[in-house]
C-alpha cells in the first residue's frame, strides 16, 4: 500500500494534488511520500519483533538527506557503500553506531574516515580488504568491528545484473572457505569479528532463495562457534522485491520474510540486521513527467515525455517495468490506446515502454511513473546536458523541494576550460 491515490479524479501524493506540485516545481520531478516511507520501515521493524534487530536502510536506493533524516528519526540504521554515503548519513544526523559499511572495494582512506567518525561495523568481502582494514585500524590504535560477507552460491532468481549470491559474482568470500578466512581474521589484532554478512541479490520475489542462504548461514554460525568465534550478529542484506506491475505481481510481505528469518535463524541468539532499500523507498516515490508531443509513427504512436533515460534508467538498464498512470484519472470506460512511451534522449534505448495500454493523452498532460522512489533519482545523470530533476517530499498536506533543479548556469559552471585553451 502506498499514499499515491486518486481523489476527486486527481492523483494525490498523500493530501497534495500532484498537479499542484508540478505547477509549483515544474515537470519532470521525483515525489516521495513520508507516510509510505515510514510505513515501510515500520513493516520491517515489526516483522522482526521479538528478536534483537536493527533495520538498516540501504541508502544506495535513495540517498536524499531528507529521506535519511526521516529514516534516522525512526531509529533506522543505514547501510552505506562509500564514504560519500557515510558522510551523507552523518550529515542527516544518523550516529556512526547505526551505520554499517558494505561494498567490495573500500579504500584505506574510506576505512580511516569511517573509523575516525565512528562505525557500527564493516562488512568485509575479501582477504586483502581484511588486511587493509587491520592495518588502518592498528595505525589509529583502534579495533574495527567486522563481519565477513559470505557468498552462498545460491540462485536468487532475479535479473542477472542485480543477482549477487552466485559463485561467479564478485561479492563475498566463497562460503566453502569461510572457516579458513574467519581463522585468518581472528588472528588480526585490529579486527573484532562480530558476525556474518550475506546478501544474495535484489528484487527477489520468492522467499526460497533467501531461506536456502539463511539456512547455510545458520550452519556456518554453529561451525564458527565451534571454532571458537564469538558470532553474535548476522547481517542478512536486503533484496525483498516489490510489485512493480500491480496487476500481476504480489511478492512476499515483510511479515512473511520476518517469520522466515525467525524460523531459520531465530534460535541462535544473534542480533539480526537487515538492509532493505527498494521495499522501503520504491513504492514511496513516483516520477512525474509531462507529455511534450504525441507523434504518429508508421505503425505506432509515440508518447514523447519530458523525462528520459537519464532521469530514470531502470527500463533501459534492466528492461524494468514501471506502471505509468495519468495524473488526471481516466474516466471509467474512457478511450484507451497503445503508446510507445519514450524520452527525448538521442538513442532508441531511451524507451520506457513499448505498446503500453494507456488512456488517450495529449501534449501538456501529466503522467506518473510508479515505484520510482528506489534506484530512480540516485541513478540519474546529466546525459544530453539535461539537468538533474528535482526531488520533492510530501507529508500530509505539505510538500517541500528536497533537492532543487540546478540552473543551466550551475550545470555549465561545473566544467572548467583550462587557461591554455
Min dist. Cβ of residue 247 to ligand LLP (A): 20
Among 33, 64, 82, 102, binds ligand LLP (CB under 6 A): 102
Q: Does residue 145 sit in helix, strand or coil? A: strand
Per-residue x/- track, 153-182, ligand LLP (CB under 6 A)? ---------x--------------------
> Cα–chain-centroid distance for residue 45?
17
Q: How far is the CB of 140 from ligand LLP (least distance, A)?
A: 25
86 binds ligand LLP (CB under 6 A): no
- The span from the CA of 72 to the CA of 90, in Å, is 10
Closest listed residue to residue 171, CA positions, set 148, 192, 190: 148
Asked if 61 interacts with ligand LLP (CB under 6 A), we say yes
Q: Give the number of other Cβ atoms within 10 Å of residue 1's Cβ.
A: 8
E strand or H helix that includes residue 166 = none
The residue of the chain with the least Cβ separation from ligand LLP equals: 238
Give the pairing of strands 271-274 and 233-235.
parallel
Q: Which is nearer to ligand LLP, 21 or 148 (CB)?
A: 148
CA dist., res. 37 & res. 287, Å (int): 16
Q: How far is the CB of 314 from ligand LLP (least distance, A)?
A: 5
Helix, strand or coil, per DSSP, at residue 125: coil
Question: Out of 31, 56, 270, 346, which one is annotated catalytic?
Answer: 346
Question: Least separation, in Å, of the C-beta of 363 and ligand LLP?
Answer: 30
DSSP 53-101: EEEEEETTS---HHHHHHHHHTT-EEEESSHHHHHHHHHTT--GGGEEE
DSSP 254-300: HHHHHHHHHHHHGGG-PEEEE---HHHHGGGEEEEEEEEEEEE-SSS
* C-beta of residue 339 within 8 angstroms of C-beta of residue 301: yes
The residue within the footprint of ligand LLP, chosen from 37, 54, 55, 58 (CB under 6 A), is 58
The residue from 2, 14, 45, 79 that contacts ligand LLP (CB under 6 A) is 79
By C-beta, is 61 or 134 nearer to ligand LLP? 61
318 binds ligand LLP (CB under 6 A): yes
CB of 203 to ligand LLP, least distance (A): 6
Burial 51-66 (b: 16+ CB within 10 A, else e): bebbbbbbbbbbbbeb
Handedness of CA 159, 160, 166, 172 (dihedral sign): negative
Instruction: Pick the closer one to ligand LLP by CB: 102 or 395.
Output: 102
**Which residues ranging from 215 to 254 are in contact with ligand LLP (CB under 6 A)?**
237-239
Rounded to the nearest angstrom, the gap between the alpha carbon of residue 324 and the centroid of all alpha carbons in its chain is 20
Contact set for ligand LLP, span 276-295 (CB under 6 A): 276-279
Quick one: which segment of 113-121, 139-147, 273-281, 385-393 binds ligand LLP (CB under 6 A)? 273-281
Contact code string over 376-405 relative to ligand LLP, x by CB under 6 A:
------------------------------
* Cell numbers for 209: 532463495
Active site residue 270: no
Of 203 and 264, which CB lies nearer to ligand LLP in the complex structure? 203
Active site residues: 346
Q: Catalog residues that contact ligand LLP under the rule CB under 6 A.
A: 58, 60-61, 79, 102, 162, 199, 202-203, 237-239, 275-279, 314, 318, 374-375
Amino acid at each position: 500500500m502506498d499514499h499515491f491515490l486518486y481523489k476527486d479524479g486527481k492523483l494525490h501524493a498523500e493530501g497534495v494534488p500532484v498537479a499542484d506540485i508540478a505547477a509549483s516545481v515544474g515537470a519532470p520531478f521525483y515525489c516521495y511520500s513520508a507516510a509510505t516511507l515510514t510505513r515501510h520501515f515500520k513493516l520491517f521493524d515489526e516483522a522482526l519483533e521479538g528478536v534483537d534487530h536493527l533495520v538498516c536502510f540501504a541508502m544506495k536506493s535513495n540517498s536524499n538527506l531528507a529521506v535519511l533524516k526521516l529514516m534516522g528519526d525512526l531509529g533506522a540504521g543505514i547501510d552505506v557503500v562509500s564514504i560519500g554515503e557515510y558522510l551523507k548519513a552523518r550529515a542527516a544526523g544518523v550516529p556512526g553506531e547505526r551505520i554499517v559499511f558494505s561494498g567490495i572495494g573500500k579504500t584505506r582512506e574510506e576505512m580511516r574516515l569511517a573509523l575516525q567518525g565512528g562505525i557500527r561495523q564493516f562488512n568485509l568481502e575479501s582477504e586483502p580488504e581484511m588486511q587493509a582494514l587491520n592495518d588502518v585500524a592498528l595505525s589509529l590504535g583502534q579495533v574495527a568491528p567486522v563481519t565477513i560477507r559470505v557468498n552462498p552460491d545460491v540462485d536468487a532468481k532475479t535479473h542477472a545484473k542485480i543477482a549477487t549470491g552466485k559463485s561467479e559474482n564478485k561479492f563475498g568470500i566463497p562460503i566453502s572457505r569461510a572457516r579458513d578466512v574467519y581463522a585468518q581474521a581472528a588472528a588480526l589484532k585490529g579486527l573484532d569479528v562480530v558476525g556474518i554478512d550475506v546478501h544474495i541479490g535484489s528484487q527477489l520475489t520468492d522467499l526460497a532463495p533467501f531461506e536456502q542462504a539463511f539456512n547455510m548461514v545458520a550452519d556456518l554460525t554453529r561451525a564458527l562457534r565451534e571454532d571458537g568465534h564469538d558470532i553474535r550478529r548476522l547481517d542478512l542484506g536486503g533484496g525483498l522485491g516489490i510489485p512493480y506491475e500491480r496487476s500481476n505481481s504480489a511478492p512476499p510481505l515483510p511479515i512473511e520474510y520476518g517469520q522466515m528469518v525467525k524460523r531459520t535463524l531465530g534460535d541462535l541468539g544473534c542480533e539480526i540486521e537487515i538492509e532493505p532499500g527498494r521495499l522501503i523507498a520504491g513504492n514511496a516515490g513516483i516520477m512525474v513527467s509531462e507529455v511534450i508531443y504525441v507523434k504518429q509513427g508508421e505503425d505506432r504512436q509515440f508518447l514523447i515525455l519530458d523525462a528520459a533515460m537519464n532521469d530514470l534508467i531502470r527500463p533501459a538498464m534492466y528492461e524494468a517495468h514501471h506502471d505509468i498512470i495519468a495524473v488526471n484519472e481516466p474516466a471509467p470506460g474512457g478511450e484507451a490506446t497503445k503508446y510507445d512511451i519514450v524520452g527525448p534522449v538521442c538513442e532508441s534505448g531511451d524507451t520506457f515502454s513499448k505498446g503500453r495500454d494507456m488512456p488517450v493523452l495529449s501534449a501538456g498532460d501529466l503522467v506518473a511513473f510508479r515505484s520510482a522512489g528506489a534506484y530512480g533519482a540516485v541513478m540519474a545523470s546529466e546525459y544530453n546536458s539535461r539537468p538533474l530533476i528535482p526531488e520533492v517530499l510530501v507529508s500530509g498536506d505539505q510538500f517541500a523541494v528536497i533537492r532543487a533543479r540546478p540552473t543551466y548556469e550551475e550545470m555549465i559552471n561545473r566544467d572548467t576550460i583550462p587557461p591554455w585553451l
